[in-house]
Every structure is written in structure tokens, then in C-alpha cells.
Amino acid sequence: MEGLERIPVMSNNETSRAIERIKTVTVEDKVKSATISLINLIPYAGGVVASLITDYASQQKVSKICDVLSDLNDRLETQHADPEKHLNKDQVVEVVHQTLAHAALSSDKAKIHFLKNGLAYSFIEADRFEAKQVFLDTLRSCTALELAVMNIIYESSDPYVIYEGKPVNEPTNFFTVVPMFANGKWEVQENRSCDHPQLAEYLARNVGFDAFLIRGVAHMLDGRGLTNMVPRLAESQCKVMKWVDFQTMQVTIPIQVTILPTQEKQIQPTPIEASQTDFGRNFMRFCNYS
């Protein structure tokens, strides 16, 4: 392994060829080969990568490491990013080592995908290193089941929202992005009991586990501030949205009347909406970074 940390910086074309080679050669060749410094823009991380491949020298684990590095290299080249712009040398080594080590041992494809995104985010975005550490540490501590539940809470459509009516003659040109040119809008009408299962049961059905395990997951995610699910697990209340078409609105002549103050109707969020937190939203943006 001697000399791996003194490998000269390669050109982008050489790096691309190195990436292709490192995906196809045997584990033994990967450990011995100078092409382990494929992240040529940050050559001082080469020794870290080499030691990781030595530690996890099995074809499957090394392939994961190379896959993550290849994705990082592609993103750096696409963004024309300078790796040292937002991370110093020690921070690069720390982020690369911890992320690759975790990816090598992970059995969940979705989590490896999120680790790729998080690593790219750490190199490209200008957030403070401490914030990146929090996100990466949180991601590394999440199980595949927790991430699956997070995807339902933040990334899937909300089944507890009921839409009544539909847009009529919806514009199809570019003006649709400007609210004032829309031909109507969705308005919240009321909360209503519906035949949907309680949140715990709904999540259990979608991830394929029992509801009691979902309750345990909810406690763990709530404890990290990623969700606020525990108080909502037994809820199933829906929120009704009604489409109001501007073209059908009637213009009436104003009449002088005395309006008595009335109590404004309070619309409660759905169980999924109420389970979301600001930290959880930002964390999922980090996980889905592209």
C-alpha cells in the first residue's frame, strides 16, 4: 500500500478511465492499483480510500465504495466544483472515510443512494461543515425502515387529503405557473372523518411491517427531531379540499349590511402533515440532493 498517498494528480480523462477500470478489475487489483486515487481533485483522500478497501476487501463491499466515489466524481465534474472550496483537507478525509465506511457495510440500496447524495452535498453546497456533519451523522444512524417511513411522511402524496371537484378548463400554457392567471383554486373546506386507517396502520401497510414496530420507529424518529409522529399514530382525520372555479363565481352588488363577528373555523392538519418537522424537511432535501 506504500505510495498511494503520493500519487500524482490525474487529468479528468485519466480519472474517467480509472473509474471504469476500478469498476471491472478484481478486488486484489483494486487494492494494489494506483487508480484508487480516482478522486483526483482531492488526492490526499487516496490513502483513506485505499485503507478502506483493504479493510472491506470483498467484491460486493468494494463495489459499493467505488460506486459512491464514481458518483461523487461525476457530480464534481458536472458542477465544475472545487472540493476545497467548502471543505478543508481534514474535513474531506473525515467525510469521505465515514461515508464510504458506512456505504460499504450498508445492505439497503436506498440508504446508499442517500449517502451518495449527502456526500455530494457536502462537497458542493456552501453550508457550514457543522450542519453537514449533523445531516450525515443523522443519515448514518437511520435504519432502512426509518428511511422508508420518512419517505412516506415527506415524499409521498397524503392520503388524508380529500379533493372534491376538479379544475375546469385548466390552462395549458406557461401562465399556469402564475397564480393570478389560474382559472380556480383549491380551498380547504373542513375536517372530516374518513375510512382511512389510523396513521400507524397506514405506515405499517406501506412498509410491510407490523404497527407495533412502526410505533417504535416513530419514537426513534421523533427523538431525533425528524418527525412528530407519536402523538398522531392513532389519528385518521381527513382534510377536505374543494375546487373553486373562478368562472362560476357570481359578481353581486354590494349591500350595506352589519356583519356580526364569527369565530373562524379551525382546520386541523392531517396526521401526516402534523407529523412533519422543519428539521425533517431539510433532512429529506439533503437526502434527495441532486
> Per residue in 62-117, pLDDT tens?
888 888 888 888 888 788 888 788 988 889 889 989 999 999 999 999 999 999 99
The pLDDT of residue 112: 95
Looking at the structure, do residues 131 and 207 belong to the same domain, yes or no?
A: no
Q: Say what the pTM is.
A: 0.77
pLDDT digits (tens, 9 = 90+) for 182-228: 578 888 888 888 889 999 999 999 999 999 999 999 999 999 999 99
Looking at the structure, do residues 61 and 183 belong to the same domain, yes or no?
A: no
Amino acid at the residue 10: M
The answer to whether residue 281 sits within a structural domain is: no
- The mean pLDDT value for 152-165 works out to 92
Residue 56 cell numbers, joined: 472491506
CA distances, 135 to each of 141, 191, 197 (Å): 10, 35, 32
The answer to whether residue 148 sits within a structural domain is: no
Looking at the structure, do residues 132 and 72 belong to the same domain, yes or no?
A: yes
What share of the chain has pLDDT > 70, as a percent?
Answer: 73
Looking at the structure, do residues 42 and 136 belong to the same domain, yes or no?
A: yes
Looking at the structure, do residues 67 and 123 belong to the same domain, yes or no?
A: yes
Looking at the structure, do residues 69 and 174 belong to the same domain, yes or no?
A: no
The answer to whether residue 259 sits within a structural domain is: no
Distance CA 271, CA 199 (A): 7
Question: Band of the pLDDT at 9, cuts 50, 70, 90?
Answer: very low
Side-chain-facing half-sphere of 199: CA atoms under 13 Å: 26
111, 141, 171: which is the final residue of a domain? Answer: 141
49, 37 in Cβ contact below 8 A?
Answer: yes
- Report phi then psi at 258, rounded to 5: -100, 120
Distance CA 192, CA 20 (A): 57
Question: Band of the pLDDT at 172, cuts 50, 70, 90?
Answer: very low
107, 141, 175: which is the final residue of a domain? Answer: 141
> How many folded domains does the chain comprise?
2
141, 174, 195: which is the final residue of a domain? Answer: 141
What share of the chain has pLDDT > 90, as a percent?
Answer: 46
The pLDDT of residue 4: 38
Question: Domain of 170?
Answer: 155-249+269-276
pLDDT digits (tens, 9 = 90+) for 223-262: 999 999 999 999 999 999 988 887 655 554 555 555 555 4
